[in-house]
Structure 1
Amino acid sequence: MRAKSRTDVRLDVLMNLHTGVVVHAPDTSIIFSNHRAAELLGLSEDQMLGKRVIDPNWCFIDSEGNRLAPERYPVSLVLSTLTPLRETVLGVLAPDRADIVWLIVSAFPDFSSSGQLLRVVVNFHDISQRKKMEAELEKSRAFAHSILDGIAANVCVLDEEGKIIAVNQAWKDFYVDNGGAQGHCHEGDNYLKVCTNAIQSLSAELQSASQFYIGFREIIEGKRERFDLDYPCHSPKEQRWFFVRVAAMRNVSPRRIVVTHVDISAQKQTQEHLQKSLIFSKRMIESMRDGVSVLSKDGYTSEVNPALCEMTGFTREELLGTSAPFPYWPEEEYSVIDRAMKKTISQQQGDFDLIFMRKNGERFPVSVAASTVFDDHGQVISYIATVKDISDYKKMESEIQNLAFYDPLTNLPNRRLLNDRISLAIVSSKRSGKYAGLMMLDLDNFKPLNDQHGHDVGDLLLIEAAHRLRSCIREVDTVARFGGDEFVVVINELHRDKTLTDAYLIDIAEKIRSAIAAPFILHSGTSNDKASIEHHCTASIGCLSFSSTVRHGRDLLKLADKQMYRAKQQGRNRVSLLQTDIDESTISTNEPQRSPP
C-alpha cells in the first residue's frame, strides 16, 4: 500500500474534524456528511446521505425549546434567501436520545462561477457538552486509493531503428479489443506507424505531441536512456489516457528499446475527482467559523484556516512552519497548554478550555478540540485542532454565576451564598476554637421612603446602605442582603473568649448603626431633571456570637432575627445582643416571634 498523498491527508483531516459538516444539494438532499455531523445530529448515515425526509421524531428546536418547522431549518433559510446564516444557536431532539444537543450552526451557499447555486454547506459546533466530550473521532479511510495495482501493461520491444521485434499478450489483446485483426503481432512494423492514431490524438495537445516525438527520437538516437509521458488515446466510446515509458535496455547489444503503455484512465478520472474534492474540502475548511490548525507528526504547523488567523491576529505565513510554543500561546500559559498537547498525543484526542493570546497581546479564552489522524497502518500522520473563541460564553457564565449568588441590586451575597458563608464560619470556628459573630439588621424608616418617592428611590437607599455596611467590616467578613431592607453580617474568627467577642460585636454594631444614621442624599430622576432627596434612616440590629457547638446556620439566623425584633420592640435604632452561649436548648427555646415592623 502506498503512503498517503497530501490530498489523502487533507481528506482525512476533513473527515476527522471535531466540527460537524453537512453538505446539501439545492433540493436539500444530503450529499456529504462527516462523522461528527452524524454523531451530533443523532442520525445514522443511512438516515442522512441522499435523504430529505428523516425520522419525524427528529427536529431542530430554537433557544426557547420550540420545535422548528422544516422551512426554518438552516439549509431551508439559506436556500430561500441565498445568503449565509451565521452562528445560530439551535438544539437537536433525536430519537432514542434523552438529552438535547445544543449547537452553534453556520450555513452558506456555494455558487458556480456563473452564479448557479451548487450546494449549501452547514457546519456546527457542540456547545452543550464541551467539558464532557470524550468520544474519539473515527478514523476515516482515504478518499481514493491507487487503482493502478494489478493493471497489466502493454509492452513492445524495438530495435535500434524503432521497429517492433516483440510484443506481449496484453499488447495483442488491446489491439484486438480495439478493432485490430486477430493474430497480427506488429512484429517488423515501425513503432511510430503502429501508434499513428495515438500520436495523432496528441495533435490537440501540441506541446505533449512535441514532447513525445522529441523524447522518442532522443531515445532512438541514444541521447537519453528513458522518457515518460502521459497521453490521451480516446476511442469513440470512452475517454482514455495512457502512461508511456520508453527506455533503453542496459548492457544489451545490439541496442534494444522497451516501450510500456499503461492505461491510466481510471487514475486520471480519480485524480480529477480528488482535485475537485480537494478544492471543495478546502473551501469548507476555510468557511468554518472555528479556527482550524493542522500539525505534522513532528509538531510543525502545516495548515491553518482564515478563522484562526482572524481570531489570533497572526497571518497564515506567520503561523505555517511554527512549532510549540506557538505564537498565540501566552508565556504564562506555556505549561498548561503544553500538558494539554502532550495529553492529546498520548490519548489521541483531547478537549480543553485554555487561554490563547492575540498578536496585540490580548488574552482570550478558547475551547480546543484536538485529535490524531492516522494512516491505514495506524501510524500518525498529523494532529488537528479546532479552536473556538469562548469569550462570550465565559462572560455569560460569569453573569449567570453572579445572578445565582449575588443580589442584582446591591451586588451583595444573596441568601444562597450567605448560607455557604455561615457554614464556612461554623467550620472555621470548630477548627480554630474561636468565636464568630452574626448580625441581622433592618432599616427602620425604609417603607415611608418607598411610599412617598417610589421604589427607584428606595433602591438607591439600599445601594448606599450596602456601601456603608461594607465599609464597617473587614475584608474577610461578609455582608449579605437577606431580603427587602434586611441585611446579615457574618464576622469570622474573633476571640476564644466570649466576653471579648461580644464586646467586639457591640463595637461593630454601633459603628454600623452610626453609619446608617448619617443622612442619605439620594439623587433621582433623569440627567435633565434630577432631584436630591435627603432621607434619615436608622437600623435595628440583633447580634450574637457562636462557637463550635452550632451545627446549622439556619438556627443562627432564627436567633439573630429574634434579637433584631427585640431591638425594634425596644424603640428601634438599637442593638440587641444574645448574651448566652448557644446550644441545642438555646435554639429550641428561642423560636422568633416577629411583631409588626
Structure 2
Amino acid sequence: MMKRIKKFFRQLSVDLHFLVPVTVIVFFLCLIIIIAKDKMVGDVESSLNRYMGYLKDTVFLSTYDSLKKGNMKVFEDILTQIGTYEQVKEFSLINKNGKVVYSSNKEFLKTIDSKATKINKPLTETGSNKITYYFPVVTVDYCTRCHRQWESGEINSVYRISLSNSSFVNLVNISSFSNKAIFIGGFIAVLLIYILYSYIKQLKFSEIISESEKKYRSLFENIMDVQFCIDENGNLVLISPSGVDLLNYRDKSEILHENFASKLLYDEQTYRDLAEKVYSEKEVYGYEMTLKKKNGAPLIAEANMRLVEKDGEKVIEGIFRDITERKNNEKQLQLLASVFENTIESIMIVSSDGKIQKVNQAFLDSTGYSEEEIVDFSPLEIQPFNENRRYLLKVAAEVRKNDRWKGEIWCRKKSGEIFPQWMSVSVLKDDNGSVMNYILLLHDITSLKKSEEELRHQATHDMLTGLPNRQLFEDRLKRAVAHHERYGGKFALLFIDLDNFKNINDTLGHKIGDLLLIKAGETLLECCRESETVARLGGDEFTIILNDIEDENGIVTVTERILKAVASAKKVGGHEVYTSASIGIAVYPADGRNSVSLIKNADMAMYKAKELGANDYYFYNSDLKVRLERKISLTTKLAKALEEDDIKVYFQPLIDLKSGKITGAEALARWQTDTSRFIRPDEFIEAAEESGLIGTLGDFVLNKSCENLRKWHEAGFESLKISVNLSVKQMNDQNIVTKTRNALKKYSLKPSGLVYEITENVAMKDFGATLALFKELSGLGVKISMDDFGTGYSSLAYLKQFPLNSIKID
C-alpha cells in the first residue's frame, strides 16, 4: 500500500507541471463565480433592506398617525394588524421610563427596555434573527393638550419595532454554503480533469511504450553498438544480434549462457579486472578491452557498463562498440604525426582562407620562426617566401586550377637569409569537393643547388686550373662575336701553347706538370682584366679573349706581357722550371666573323709562332690559310698514295772512303705524283707527322728496307746494312720495338744489319724517353746512329749517355 502511495505521489510530482496551472485556472474560475454570486446576493440584500425600510416606515407612519390623533382604538387595531405581518416580530410603544405600554406582541407588555431610556435619536440593532429599530417620539404642542406633564420638544416615548431578518440570514447562509460548494466543485473539477488527463496520458504513454518497444527491439537488433549483460557468475545472459555478427558467430545460442571470460576474453584476469572496476565504481565509461572472436582474432572494444540489481541479483549491463579500426587509425595518425614532426622535409598546412594552420618542427628549424610567430598568419603577411607577390599569386592560381603545383622557390628565414627550396603544393578537399586545406611540402635544396652549381662549374670549367673549359670558352666567344657584330668594334683571340711542356711533364712527372699548368693559368689571369676570358682548352693549350681593343698595339702590349710572365723561371713542387709560350692571334672581324673561323685561324697563327721558335707570337694572315689548305690537300693525297702504293723507297749507298767499297745504304721515301712531279720529302713527311700518317709511312719504309736487305744478302752481299730514319712521332710509338722485332723476324735478318738514324734535335726533345728507347733497341741488337750532329744541342755529355754506334756530322 505504501509503495502505491509513494508511487502516486511520485507520479503526482511528475504531473505538477500540469496540475498547478489547471488548479490555478479552476481557482480563478471559482473566484470569478463567487464574485458574480456575491454581487447577486448583494442585489437581493439591497432589495430586502429597501423592503424592510418600507415596512418599518409604513408601521411607524400608520401608528404614529393614529396616536397623534389620539385615536387609541385605531392605534390598538393597527397594532393588532401589525402583529399579523409576516416579517414583523413585534411593535411596541415604550414610555420614557422604559416600560412597554403597548405592543403587538402581548409577551412584551409591561416589560422594561432599559435601552429606550437612553435613546435620544433613532437607533438600529441587528440581532442573529431580527433587526430592532428604536424611534424616539418628541413632544409637540399638540400633545401637551392631553398630556400636560409633557413638555414640548422632549422625548415622551419610544417606538420599538423588531423585524425578522431570517431572509437575510438564509441569504447569507445560502451565500456561504454556495461559496464552499463552488470551491468543492472546483476541486472536484480539478480532480476529474486530472483523472481524464491521467487516462489520456496513460493511453498515449501506452502507445509510446508500444512504439518505443518496437523501436528498441529494432534498435537492439540492428544497432552496431552491442548490448550485453553478464550475471553474477560471469555468464553472458544477453547480447544483441549485432554482437553475434561482430564476433563471427552464426547464432547467439553459441555464446549465450557461456562464461564471458573463457568465451570472449583471452584470460581470466582481464575479466576479474573488469568486474572489480564495475563493482567498485558502479558505472564505468570508455573501458577498453580486447575481445576474442570465434576464429580467435582480436577485436578491440570500448564499453560503457553499470552495475544494476535485477530480481535480487547484481548484473553488469553495458554496451560496447568495435573500435579496432579507430585504434588502427589512431596508430596511423600517431605514425603520421610522428612522420610530420620528425621528417626532414618542411611541411606547412594552410587553411582554405589562406591562414597557416600548422607547421612541423623541420619548418621551424629551417626558418628560425616559432610556431606562435607563424600560425594563424597568411604567408603573404609573414613573407617566408622571398618571391614577389605576383609570382606567389601566379602559383596560387595554378594550384586553384590544377589542385597541385611543384617548383623551385626561394624562402626567407626569420634572420632575413634566403635559401632555395623545392616546394610541392597539393589540395585537400572534403566529400563535396570544397577545399579544406593546402598542403605545402618544402625540401631545402641548398646543397643540391650548390652541387648543381659545382656541376655546372665542372661542366664549364677546367678541373685542374679552374679556368673556363672549351665549352664555356666557345660560348663566350660566340657571345663576343654577337656583341661586336651588333655594337661594332674589335676583339682579339689569343691561342697559347706552352713550349717544352711535354719534356717537363715526362721528365719531372705529371704532378709537376699539373702544378705548372695551374701556375700558367694563374699567370695568364694576372696578365688580363677581369672582363677578359682566360680558358684552358686541354693539355698545354690556353686561349684568351681580349674584348674591345682599339688597335694592334693594345694586343701586342698584352701579348708581350704574357710572354714575359710565362717565360720567367717558376718554382714548382720543389723544382725550378723554365718554360715559354707560343701565341697565335686572330682579330675580329678581320680574321674571321664567326667563332669557328677565329679559333682555326688563331690556331694556325700559334703553329706559325712555334715554327719561328719558342717564346714568340704571330698574327694570323691569309698566307697561313693558303698553306693550311695546301697541307690538308697534301695529307688527303698522301693517305691515298699509301693505300695505292705510290710511295717509293729509294736507297742511297754508304761508301767507305778508305776502301771505296759500299758498306750499306740509307732508305729514303720518295713520292712521285701521277704528273711525274716529286713532292719534297720534308713537305709530305711534315704532313704525315701532323696528320698521324707517319706511323703507316714509317712501317712501310721499314718493311721495304728489310725486304731489300734480305734480297741483297741472298745475292751474296751479306755485309751490307740498311739505315732507316726515325721521326719524333715514331719514337713516341710504344710499339716501335715490337714492330722492329717483327720486321727482322719476317725477313730473317740479324738485328745488327738494321741501323736507326735519329737527328740530334729529335733525340734531345725528350732526353729520358730517347735514352730508354735507345737502350731497348740496342738490347735487341739494332744499331743506333745520330744524324745532323752539330745542328742542335751539340752536347758531348749527353752523347756519352746514348748507346750510339755512329754519328753523322753536318
State the TM bucket, normalised to the shorter chain: 0.5 to 0.7
CA deviation after TM superposition for structure 1 residue 288, in Å: 2.8
Equivalent residue runs for 1:237-256 within 5 Å: none
Q: CA deviation at 1:311?
A: 2.6
Partners of 1:416 and 1:236 lie apart in 2 by 73
Of 327, 344, 351, which residue of structure 2 is paired with 1:296? 351
1:556 and 2:556 are equivalent in the alignment? no
* Correspondent of 2:553 among 490, 503, 510: 503
Flag the 1:342–1:448 CA change in 2: closer, same or farther, 3 A. same
Matches for 1:364-513 after TM superposition, within 5 Å: 364-495=419-550, 500=551, 502-513=552-563
The alpha-carbon deviation at position 380 of structure 1 amounts to 1.0
1:543-596 deviations in Å (ceiling 9; x for gaps): 1213188465333222222211211111221111124599x9898568696877
- Which residue of the other structure, out of 577, 586, 592, is the alignment partner of 1:535? 577
Aligned partners of 2:628 and 2:478: how far apart in 1?
17
SS in structure 1 opposite 2:379?
Answer: coil
| Displacement of 1:360 | 4.5
Separation (CA, whole Å) in 2 of partners of 1:439 and 1:384: 56
Tell me the matched-pair count: 369
1:26-57 deviation line (CA, Å, top 9, x unaligned): xxxxxxxxxxxxxxxxxxxxxxxxxxxxxxxx
Q: What is the match of residue 12 of structure 1?
A: none
Indicate yes or no: 2:254 matched with 1:204.
no
**Native 8 Å contact 1:312 1:328 kept in 2:** no
- CA 1:585–1:337 in 2, change beyond 3 Å: closer, same or farther? farther
Instruction: Return the offset for 1:297.
Output: 0.9
Give 1:473's aligned amino acid.
Answer: C
Give a deviation string over 1:89-112, Cα, whole Å, max 9, x none.
xxxxxxxxxxxxxxxxxxxxxxxx
Whole-angstrom CA distance in 2 between matches of 1:465 and 1:197: 95
Residue identity matched to 1:432: Y
**1:478/1:490 contact within 8 Å kept:** yes
CA contact 2:467–2:534 (8 Å) conserved in 1: yes
Report the Cα offset of residue 426 of structure 1. Answer: 2.3
1:112-191 maps to which residues of 2 (within 5 A)? Answer: 166-167=208-209, 169=211, 171-172=213-214, 174-175=216-217
Moved more, 385-394 or 317-326: 317-326
Greater CA drift, 278-287 or 512-521? 278-287
Specify the alignment match of 2:21 in structure 1. none
CA distance in 1, matches of 2:207, 2:382: 65
In 2, the alpha carbon distance for the partners of 1:570 and 1:452 equals: 25
Cα displacement (A) at 1:159 = 7.2
Which is helix-richer, 1 or 2? 2
Q: What does residue range 100-119 of structure 1 map to in structure 2 within 5 Å?
A: none
Q: How far, CA to CA, are the matches of 2:451 and 2:616 in structure 1?
A: 43
Structure 1, unmatched stretches of 5+, are: 1-157, 180-195, 211-228, 244-262, 525-530
205 and 394 in structure 1: CA distance in 2 versus 1, 3 angstrom threshold = farther
Percent identity, aligned pairs only, is: 28
Render the CA deviation track for 1:220-265: whole Å, top value 9, x for unaligned: xxxxxxxxx9999xx999978799xxxxxxxxxxxxxxxxxxx996
| 3-state secondary structure, aligned to 1:355 | strand
Match of 1:413, SS state, is coil
* Higher mean C-alpha deviation, range 584-593 or range 412-421: 584-593
Change in 2 beyond 3 A, CA 1:579/1:269: closer
8 Å CA contact 1:435, 1:494 repeated in 2: yes
Post-superposition offset of 1:482: 1.7
CA distance in 2, matches of 1:475, 1:382: 52
Q: Per-residue displacement from partner, 1:168-189 (whole Å, max 9, x unpaired)?
A: 546335348969xxxxxxxxxx
Aligned equivalents of 1:236, 1:176: Cα separation in 2: 26
Q: 1:363 aligns to what?
A: 418
Q: Return the offset for 1:444.
A: 1.4
Query: 8 Å contact 2:591–2:621 — kept in the other structure?
Result: no
Out of 314, 339, 345, which is 1:284 matched to?
339
Shift of 1:270: 6.3
Which structure carries more relative contact order (alpha carbon 8 Å, separation 6+)? 1
Q: How does 1:325-364 map to 2 (within 5 A)?
A: 325=380, 329=384, 336-337=391-392, 339-364=394-419
- Residue 300 of structure 1 deviates from its aligned partner by 1.5
Q: Which amino acid aligns with 1:518?
A: S
CA distance in 2 between counterparts of 1:362 and 1:405 reads 28
Write the distance in 2 (CA, Å) between the matches of 1:546 and 1:264: 95
Residue 571 of structure 2 corresponds to residue 521 of structure 1:
yes
Match of 2:79 in 1: none
Distance 1:577 1:276, change over 3 A: closer
Distance 2:210 2:369 in 1: 60
Amino acid at match of 1:204: V
Specify the structure having the higher radius of gyration (Cα).
2
**Are residues 166 and 436 of structure 1, via their aligned partners in 2, closer, same or farther at CA, if it must alter by over 3 Å?**
same
Tell which deviates more after alignment, 533-542 or 337-346. Answer: 337-346
Worse-superposed segment, 584-593 or 351-360: 584-593
Q: Is the 8 A contact 2:426 2:438 kept in 1?
A: yes
Contact 1:333 1:355 in 2 (8 A): no
Cα distance in structure 1, aligned partners of 2:279 and 2:454: 68
Amino acid at match of 1:166: I
2:356 counterpart letter in structure 1: T
1:545 to 557, 564, 587: 587
The 1-side partners of 2:553 and 2:535 are apart by 22
Q: Secondary structure at the match of 1:376?
A: coil
AA of the residue aligned to 1:541? I
SS at match of 2:425: strand
C-alpha distance in 2 between matches for 1:159 and 1:202: 43
| 1:446 Cα deviation after fit | 2.2
- CA contact under 8 A between 2:537 and 2:543: conserved in structure 1? yes
Alpha-carbon offset, residue 350 of structure 1: 0.9
- 2:210 & 2:360 partners in 1: Cα distance? 51
Q: How far apart are residue 332 of structure 1 and its match?
A: 6.8
Instruction: Quote the offset at 1:295 in angstroms.
Output: 0.7
- The 1:438/1:350 distance shift into structure 2, 3 A limit, reads same
SS in 2 for 1:512: helix
Q: Aligned residue for 2:642?
A: none
Tell me the distance in 1 between the aligned counterparts of 2:628 and 2:484. 18
Amino acid at match of 1:540: S
* Structure-1-length-normalised TM-score: 0.52
Q: Of 304, 314, 319, which residue of structure 1 is paired with 2:369?
A: 314
Match of 2:152 in 1: none
CA distance in 1, matches of 2:206, 2:286: 21
Change (3 A) 1:240 1:372: closer
Q: 1:204 to 1:425 in 2, by over 3 A?
A: same
- Measured in 2, the distance between the counterparts of 1:349 and 1:307 equals 22
Contact 2:387 2:409 in 1 (8 A): no
**Structure-2 change in CA distance of 1:464 and 1:352 (3 Å):** same
- One-letter amino acid of the counterpart of residue 377, structure 2: T
CA distance in 2, matches of 1:520, 1:542: 23
- Alignment-derived partner of residue 55 in structure 1: none
> Does the CA-based 8 Å contact 1:542-1:566 persist in structure 2?
yes
Partner of residue 224, structure 1: none
Aligned residue runs from structure 1 range 63-82, under 5 A: none
